[in-house]
Amino acid sequence: QVQLVESGGGLVQSGGSLRLSCAASGLTLSDYAMAWFRQIAGKEREFVASVSWTGRSTYYADPVKGRFTISRDNDKNTQYLQMNSLKPEDTAVYYCAAGTSPLPRTHQSYDLWGQGAPVTVSS
């Protein structure tokens, strides 16, 4: 069964850090470009960061540049999102996504999605 499973979400104070993980099963992660998106209830899913198949290229949304770092370990079939200097406006459900040839910032072009990891940043 092909699936992506996020972990590491939770409640953190403003200025704190969290690390999200996305474990893939039933697929070979190196066949996919990976990304993180986030969504607040009632709003569109928002691009956060993406990483290429080898991990050499990364892209970030402007609001998270310099604070978030996306990475992947193809040997462990896992990708990560290190989130530092968190702000209340980072509060959302964070989704892991995988695509064989996605447009990095376009959620419709990703093939596989995790169930979401809630992140709450208190002020």
pLDDT tens sequence across 24-42: 999 999 999 999 999 998 9
Question: What is d(CA 120, CA 23) in angstroms, rounded to the nearest whole number?
Answer: 21
pLDDT averaged over every residue in the chain: 95
pLDDT at 67 over 90: yes
Per-residue pLDDT at 33: 96
Structure-token match 């079939």, residue found = 77
In what helix (H) or strand (E) does residue 48 lie, and over which residues does it extend? strand 46-51
In what helix (H) or strand (E) does residue 49 lie, and over which residues does it extend? strand 46-51
- Residue 72 and residue 5 in contact, taking contact as beta carbons nearer than 8 Å: no
- Residue 63 and residue 49 in contact, taking contact as beta carbons nearer than 8 Å: no
Per-residue pLDDT at 103: 87
pLDDT at 102 over 90: no
pLDDT at 113 over 90: yes
The helices-and-strands tally (H runs, E runs) of the chain is: 0, 11
Q: What is the pLDDT of residues 81-101, one digit of tens each?
A: 999 999 999 999 999 999 998
Question: What is d(CA 115, CA 104) in angstroms, rounded to the nearest whole number?
Answer: 20
